[in-house]
Structures are given as C-alpha cells and as structure tokens.
Amino acid sequence: MPEHTGTHIARHLSPRVSDALTGFRVVVLHGARQSGKTTLARRTAERAGGTYVTLEDEPMLQAALDDPTALLTASPAPLAVDEVQLAGDRLVRAVKRLADAEQTPGRFLLTGSTDFLSVPTISESLAGRARLMRLTPLSQAEIAGAESPPVERWFNRDDHAGAPPPGGSSPTLTRRDYAELICAGGYPEVLRLPAGLRDGWFESYLETVVGRDIAALADIRRSTALAPLLRWTAAQTAQELNVAAASRRLAISQPTVVSYLDWLRTVFLTQELPAWSRNLSKRAIRRPKLHISDTGLAAHLLGTGPDALLAPTSQAFGMLAESFVVNEIARQATAAAARISLWHYRDAHHEADIILETPDGSVTAIEVKASSSPSPHTADHLRWLRDRLDATAPGSFIGGIVLHMGEPDVSLGDRISMRPISSLWTD
C-alpha cells in the first residue's frame, strides 16, 4: 500500500471548479471534512488572483458574523470562504445580495463540510446563482495519476464489444493489496500516515464530525445514539437499508433513526444507492443500499484490518469490497464530464450490485466479488439484465462487468466481461 508524504495529488474536480467560476457568480464546493476542499479552494483562488479566508479562524468567523458584507467586499475576487456553514444564513444572504448586485461570474467560492442544501442554519439555497460541486476523498484514479476519471470510458460501446486487450494495463494486485487499499480509504491525511497511526486519526475525526459538527447544527436529544448508529451502519455497509432493524438493535424510535441517518449523510459519512427501475414510481418505494462513504473509516468502525479481512471466516471482506468499488465509482463520477447516476437493482430473483446510468438512459451494470477466481456464473444476473433491456429498451444496455480480485481480463461474450477491480483506475 503506497504512503504519500507531502506530494500533491491533482484532483479531477479542479479544472471543473475553475471552469464553473467563469460562468457562475458563486461556486459552492462541499464535501466531507479532510477531503481536500481547503487545498483545492486555496489553489483555485490563488491561480485566479483572488483571496482565501477560513471561518475556522476565530477572528475571521467573528468578522463574518458581525459584518458579513464588509468581509465579502474587502478582498479581490474570487473570494474563497472556507467552512461557510459556520457563519450560517446571514453570510450566505450577504453573498446573494452582492452576487445579484454585481452580476459578475467568479465572485465567490464557498466551501463547506456539510451538504449545503441540508444545513438548517442556511435557508438560502442561492438557486440560479450558484453551481454546487462535491469534492470527495481521493479516488484511486487520482492517486494513480489518471488524467481524467476512467469510469467515463465504461459508457464507450467499443470497450464492451469484445475481449479486453490481453493483460491490459491494470497492475497485478493480490487480495492482500486490495485489503490494504480498503482499510486505508481515501482521506489524504490518512494516506500520509503510517498504518499504525491511522486508527487514532479516524477516532479524532469522528469526535470532530459527530461530536462537534452535527451537535452544532442539529437538535440532537440523544446524541449518544449517533456513534452506535454509525457503527451499525458500518456493519451493514453494502446492505439494503432496514430502519426497523436499526430501531430494534439500538432501542431508539424509527423516526429518530431516519433523522440521525439524514445527519450522517449531511456530513458525508454515508451515502445511499437508490433502487433502480425503469418505472420511476418503483424507484421511490424500494429500499436503497446503504454505504459508508470511506472504507478506511468503515474498517476502523468495525475494528478490522487487512489480516482479519483475509481470514477465511471473514464476513466483512465482501461487503467492504463492494463499498470500496461504490466509493471509487462515486468519487470518479463527481468529476466526470457527463452526469453518471449510481443505483442498485434487486427483485425476487435477480440483483446487480451497481447500476450506472447516464441521462440518455445508457446502462452499465456491475457485480463485485471479493474473489481472485470468480465463476463465470457470477455474471448470470448481468446476462439477464442485458437480455431484458435488449427486449424492452434496445440499445440502452452498454455492458456488464464482474469486478474481482484476480488478474486476467476475460470476455464472457456479448458485452459481458470479467475484470480486476484495479481496472477502475487504470487505462
């Protein structure tokens, strides 16, 4: 597992943020704490001849609370304001007034460690004025130095037309390599630390996010239930969300479970994959799959490491491998040129771990196996989905892929293939 010691890693979202500032008066860059927003915002502002301030600096926060307009007009644009949620609605309303008065693109770059549209202390959405963009922890594609998100090519029909190139360009990784990648996750600071210090980092991180950020924003009456709920979520990662089961296990009401899960999503600790269907009404009533947004964090919450995951009796390896793939694809999708939506599919007889869909209805389906030699029959559900879409929506099924922990790329015929998980971040 490579460790990073101060080397800057180019972010795929960086050029998109710069481009957005040429057309939008306000760009909002939100994402989990320690995902790299500060570095990206500062570099973007400096390249454009602007200014960077952070509201985690107490005097700066007080200035924003006392006279937000003065703070926002005192420095050259673009003005990058880090952790904007700390100043709440008054600052955002001042941003709105100034953006409306000047009508100048690239006036403000705001960052926040909470979902901007879900913060109760911010009622102003900046609709029509702002471009919302999400920065995730590092993807493996960024760590590997890929110039653009490789997931984009998976909607290229030629990529699924026949057998992949012999050997490809994917590095040969062992199951231990994958276990180490899973347990490291993608937070930049974690990757700089020796493995023995990472649990301490995750512990401090959770104390900050759960014990401070959520508590500062929410009316949490039973805050002691948040940590057990997060551990329960880690144990259920890659499973369909069952609110009733969480309620019984943690002895809290179902409405409280729903409310607390919303807060975990608001601070980007979890994400959900909705159920996919061509029938939009069915999408709304089927259960989503729940995933911890970083598998390093999930492994910490479960108290597991690479050795434990590799044990023959491990039940966590498969679930964490699926979440690892979901996280990697989601991280790449946030920076992709075209919008890619992530879903899962399940009915009484068939399922697909991940459905990728573009706005024109093109579909790529993925199964994830924590095995170095999966059976070709693991692609049976993908074949069924291919045949169904070919009959009901001809041309929409682009390809089906079984991602596994072995080495070879293998074509299973007619747009179905088996590929190593590492093909997600290699060309």
On whether both 167 and 68 belong to a single domain, the answer is: no
For residues 130 and 89, give the distance between their C-alpha atoms in angstroms, rounded to a whole number.
15
Please indicate, yes or no, if residue 198 is contained in any of the structural domains: no
Return d(Cα 393, Cα 267) in angstroms, integer. Answer: 38
Domain, as residue range, for 351: 141-191+272-424
Domain contains 247: no
CB-based contact 129:26 (threshold 8 Å): yes
Same-domain check for residues 73 and 148: no
Cα separation, 133 vs 263, in Å, equals 19
Under the banding of pLDDT at 50, 70 and 90, the label for residue 125 is confident
Residue 87 and residue 163 in one domain: no
CA-to-CA distance for 286 and 233, rounded, in angstroms?
Answer: 19
In this structure, what token pair is assigned to residue 242? 């069952």
Indicate the residue among 134, 163, 182 that finishes a domain.
Answer: 134
**Banded model confidence at residue 197, pLDDT cuts 50, 70, 90:** very high
Task: Find how far residue 282's CA is from the centre of its chain.
Answer: 24
Residue 400 lies in a domain: yes
Domain identity same for 306 and 367: yes
What DSSP assignment string belongs to 116-184?
A: GGG-TT-----TTTEEEEE-PSPPHHHHTT-SS-GGGGGG-GGGGTSPPPTT-S-----HHHHHHHHHH
Q: What is the pLDDT, as a whole number, of residue 1?
A: 40
Q: Residue 165 above 50 pLDDT?
A: no
The reply to whether 128 and 153 lie within a common domain is no
Average the pLDDT over each of 109-118, 147-156, 214-223 and give the range with the smallest value: 214-223
Beta strand residue intervals within 220-321, DSSP E: 239-240, 270-273, 289-292
Nearest to 114 by CA among 330, 268, 294: 268
Q: pLDDT higher for 399 or 156?
A: 399
> Do the domain assignments include residue 205?
no
β-pairing, 108-112 vs 130-134, is: unpaired
Q: Which pLDDT belongs to residue 7?
A: 66
pLDDT attached to residue 171? 62
- pLDDT attached to residue 167: 42
Q: Which residues contact 28 (CB under 8 A, 6 or more apart)?
A: 84, 110, 111, 112, 116, 126, 130, 131, 132, 133
> What is the Cβ-side half-sphere exposure of residue 416, based on CA atoms within 13 angstroms?
17
Is the pLDDT at 178 greater than 60, yes or no? yes
Amino acid at 264: L
Mean pLDDT of the chain, nearest integer? 89
Based on DSSP, count helices (H) and strands (E) in the chain, helices before strands: 18, 14
What pLDDT shows up at residue 44?
A: 96
- CA-to-CA distance for 273 and 69, rounded, in angstroms? 40
Question: Tell me: the pLDDT tens digits for 278-292?
Answer: 774 455 458 899 999
CA dihedral 105, 106, 111, 116 (to 10 degrees): 10
> Mean pLDDT throughout 51-70?
94
3-state secondary structure of 54: strand
Specify whether 156 is located in the same domain as 282.
yes
Mean pLDDT within 87-112: 91
- Give me the pLDDT at residue 216, please: 73
Name the least confident of 4-13, 371-380, 389-398, 414-423: 4-13
- The reply to whether 69 and 173 lie within a common domain is no
Number of domains in the chain: 2
Q: Is residue 261 part of a domain?
A: no
Give the per-residue pLDDT at 3: 40
Closest CA to 270 of 257, 253, 283: 257
Residue 3 is encoded by which pair of tokens? 């460790």
Residue 59 and residue 21 share a domain: yes
Domain boundary among 95, 118, 134: 134
Whether residues 43 and 164 fall in one domain: no
Task: Confirm whether pTM is higher than 0.75.
Answer: yes
CATH of the domain at 90: 3.40.50.300
Give ∠ CA 112-138-308 in degrees, rounded to 5. Answer: 115
Residue 353 lies inside a defined structural domain of this protein = yes
Domain-embedded: residue 208: no
Q: What is the mean pLDDT of residues 149-155?
A: 88
Question: Tell me, what's the pLDDT at 166?
Answer: 43
298 lies in some domain: yes
Neighbours of 19 (CB within 10 A): 12
**Shared domain check, 167 and 77:** no
Q: What is the C-alpha end-to-end distance of the chain, expressed in Å? A: 20
Specify the pLDDT at position 117: 72
Both 148 and 297 in a single domain? Answer: yes
Smallest Cα–Cα separation from 299: which of 321, 283, 279? 321
The pLDDT tens digits for 201-226 are 999 999 999 888 887 777 665 667 88
pLDDT band at 162 (very low <50, low <70, confident <90, very high): low
Residues 130, 153, single domain; the answer is no
Model confidence at 2: pLDDT above 50: no
- Predicted confidence band at 170 (pLDDT cuts at 50, 70, 90)? low
Pair 345, 385: CB distance under 8 Å? yes
Q: For residue 160, name the pLDDT band (cuts at 50, 70, 90).
A: confident
